[in-house]
Chain A
Amino acid sequence: MRTIVPLLATLAAAAVALPCGPAKAASPSKTWVSNAGFNNVSCGAITLPCRTFQQAHDNVGAGGEVAVAGPGDYGPVTITKSVSIISDQAGEATAQTGNATGITVQAGTADVVQLRGLTIDGALGTGSTGVNFRFGAALHVRNCAIKNFQGGYGILFQALVPAELFVSDTAITNNTGTGAVAIYVTPQAAQATVAGLLERVTIAGNNFGIFVTTSSATVNMTVTESLAAGNAFDGIVAVPTGTGPVTLMVERSKLVGNGYGVRSFGASATVLLSNSTVAANTTGLQSAAGGVIGSYGNNNIDRNGTDGAPTTSYALK
């Protein structure tokens, strides 16, 4: 029988063989986690994996990698340095969280954080968040599933410094309840310019899909080959509250069956649509207070309750 935690004898033997002691002088560049692992300040070798992401993170050197050696629930983690957390066909690696935040990024301003192959599940806990990015140079999310954060956020990108957000081949689903958003981009300082790329992202069955708001920071994001479907409110909404310009380039994407397909609020909001489908939403396109919805003339905008119309035409060149 496969055991999820080792038997007592194994555990005791491990404790005897490897008593708690000071960490090794030099942090390794790679630490492993396993469901059969044990946490201590020197865990992380493939022969001595850690039990949690947090301990593996604490033990790995900056710039290093936390790798998943087998299926397991490795708990929430706060990332404070450049680190990758990678599960590459080694089995489901979850950061299940209940009412807490799954992964918090509170790193240095030059640090790059990469997450790959993780399932981050809120278990319908209330007010919780999947990934909360505050400090760092960039966040890469690939091949992940982020789901079930009720009244919270799948990805909350609230950078206080200039930062990049890359999300690819990822499903963000069922983040429901009042205020919940699949991807919420809200830079918190004027200098916190955001550059974002979402590709092959499925955003389905959330309260809001992609929500971008800023007071004075510049946000530039491209959304490509992605889908926002069945979200209660917007598939995509740009709501700059001040002078910070928000520009979203949406191409080869589908906005289907949402409350609103695309909304653009305010004079500093621009959403450009190319080769995209906006259909079967209650309202397809809506702009207000000078928000721009631009079209390259190659979009399918039909069969919405109210289709709406682009405010500006752009020419292909």
Chain B
Amino acid sequence: MGRIALTRTTCAAVIVAALHAAPARAAPKVWVSGDGVNSTTCGVTSPCRTLQQAHDNVTAGGEIGVIGPGELGPLTITKAISIVSDGGGEASAQTGSATGIVVNALATDVVQLRGLTIDGTSQVWNGIVFNTGAALHLQLCTIKNFRNGGAFGIEFQPANAAKLVVSDSFIINNGTIGGAGIRLAPVAGATTVVLERTVIAGNYAGIDAVPLLGAGAITMAVADSTIAGNLTDGILADGSYVPVTVIADRSRFVNNGVGVHATIFRAVVLLSNSTIAGNGTGLLSDIFGVIGSYGNNNIDKNGTDGAPTMSFAQK
């Protein structure tokens, strides 16, 4: 077989190259497909079958590309990589009885996932568990159906300072008794979170920001997003141990048990240009949790609307 990169070569050179197989080695770009075959050299001249094998064959900093649709299995990520499925058909990390994607990378590693479907098929635990790494970027992903009791779509529990950036994604139908679309429970270090154009719907809870004792602060921006139809809190900011700040802008918290819940004084949620409607309780502040408003939100038609605890001025 020839090598994958045949750049600007002559026909003769193509044939010569084809007659001499390139030695196998880890490559910066590895392909995976539902009809691939796993081996320690797969991914370059022919695709791997699973994300795990592709991950093992790609160099740190490299990329796994999905070349054809498939159920590509669960995966544990231990280095900086991207996984990209851009219109190559559904690329799922359907999980059977495990976690979909576990991130156990170095504290400097950035992991980027684009275009994946991570489906729990109603049986298993969490969609993504992030234990260590510098950042997790999700774009155009769907995480759904992790229904085993307290399952989470994303469990973000870094043991180091880390960032989570979620864009244009759907996180739906996770958790039955406990669980959440996203649980932010950092163990140590400051956590920065961004959600934009993302739907978090029909989970047990929407977003639980519940840092543990010893963690750094959580700072979170929610923009142009919808948190809807979650059984308990749409978003919970829990300031039991460290500051949790949520800045929500142009977003919708609708049809949840509680739209926005800030508990204990270190929790601050600022609302701007947002709608809180159709929840059992719209805004819930307890133990001096702060819910701030820029005075431009729609907070109506909840069972109990509740009220912001502070006003903020636009500048």
Which residues on the A side are within 8 Å of B223 (C-beta)?
Answer: 227, 254, 277
Do A205 and B1 touch across chains, with their CB atoms under 8 A apart?
A: no
State whether A257 touches B192 (Cβ < 8 A).
yes
- Expressed in whole angstroms, the minimum distance between the Cβ of A143 and any Cβ of chain B is 9
Cβ-defined contact, B110 with A302, below 8 A: no
B65–A94 contact, CB under 8 A?
yes
A204 and B6 alpha carbons, distance in the complex (Å): 33
| 8 A-B pairs with the lowest CB-CB distances in the bound complex, closest first | A124-B61, A92-B86, A91-B88, A89-B87, A256-B221, A123-B28, A20-B11, A280-B219
- Closest chain B residue, CB of each to CB of A254: B223
- Asked whether B139 lies within 8 Å of A171 as measured between CB atoms, the reply is yes
Knowing A1-B37, A5-B1, the reply to whether A11 touches B63 (Cβ < 8 A) is no
Contacts of A2 in B (CB 8 A): 33, 35-36, 46-47, 67-68
25 contacts between A and B (CB under 8 A): A2-B46, A4-B4, A4-B67, A8-B2, A19-B11, A71-B86, A72-B67, A89-B87, A92-B87, A93-B86, A119-B84, A121-B63, A121-B82, A124-B60, A173-B110, A173-B112, A174-B112, A176-B110, A227-B223, A230-B135, A254-B194, A256-B219, A280-B247, A297-B314, A303-B219
For A75, give its contact among B7, B45, B294 (CB under 8 Å): B7
- The size of the chain B interface, using a CB distance under 8 A, is 74
Given A123-B29, A229-B221, A173-B6 contact (CB < 8 Å):
no
Give Cα A202–Cα B196 distance, bound, in whole angstroms. 9
| B29, B37, B245, B315: residue with the most chain A Cβ atoms closer than 10 Å | B315
Report A-chain residues with C-beta under 8 Å of the C-beta of B247: 256, 277, 279-280, 300, 302-303
Q: Which residues of B contact A124 (CB under 8 A)?
A: 60-62, 80
- Please, which residues of chain B bring their CB within 8 A of the CB of A38? 6, 11, 14
A84 to chain B, nearest CB (A): 17
Is B177 an interface residue, CB under 8 A from the partner?
A: no
Render B45-66 as a binary contact track against A, CB cut-off 8 A, 1 for contact.
1110000000000011111011
Measured between beta carbons, the chain B residues less than 8 angstroms from A243 are none
Q: Do A300 and B294 touch (CB < 8 A)?
A: yes
Whether, in the assembled complex, A178 has its beta carbon less than 8 Å from a beta carbon of chain B, the answer is no
Q: When the two chains form the complex, which single residue of A40, A148, A229 contacts B194, counting CB atoms closer than 8 Å?
A: A229
Q: Which of A1-54 contact B (CB under 8 A)?
A: 1-5, 7-8, 11-12, 15, 19-20, 35, 38-40, 51-52, 54
Chain B residues with CB under 8 Å of A1's CB are 35-37, 46
Given B3, B11, B46, B115, which contacts A15 in the complex, CB threshold below 8 Å?
A: B11
Is A295 in the interface zone, CB < 8 Å from B?
yes
Within 8 A of B (CB), among A237-267: 252, 254, 256-257
Q: Interface residues of A toward B: which range?
A: 35 or more
- Enumerate chain B residues within 8 angstroms of A162, measured Cβ to Cβ: none
- Tell me which of A12, A87, A202, A310 has the highest count of chain B C-beta atoms within 10 A of its own C-beta: A202
> What residue of chain B has the Cβ atom nearest to residue A6's Cβ?
B2
Most buried by A among B1, B7, B19, B62: B7
Give bound CA distance, A55 to B8, whole Å: 7
- Chain B 219-243 per-residue mask, 1 if CB under 8 angstroms from chain A, else 0: 1010110000000000000000000
A286 within 8 A of B: no
Contact B8 A52 (CB under 8 A): yes
A73 within 8 A of B: yes
* Interfacial residues, chain A to chain B (CB-CB below 8 A): 1-5, 7-8, 11-12, 15, 19-20, 35, 38-40, 51-52, 54-55, 70-73, 75, 87-94, 96, 98, 117, 119, 121, 123-125, 145, 147-148, 171, 173-174, 176, 202, 204-205, 225, 227, 229-230, 252, 254, 256-257, 275, 277, 279-280, 295, 297-303, 309-310
A5/B315 in contact, CB under 8 A: no
- Min Cβ gap A304→B in Å is 10
Q: Are B84 and A145 in contact (CB under 8 A)?
A: yes
- A87–B84 Cα distance when bound, in Å, is 14
In the complex, A89→B59 CA distance in Å? 27
List chain A residues, Cβ under 8 A from B87. 87-92, 117
Pick from A124, A204, A275 the residue with the most CB of B within 10 Å: A204
Q: Are A174 and B85 in contact (CB under 8 A)?
A: no
In the bound assembly, the distance between CA atoms of A93 and B46 in angstroms comes to: 17
B127-171, CB < 8 A from A: 135, 137, 139, 163, 165, 167
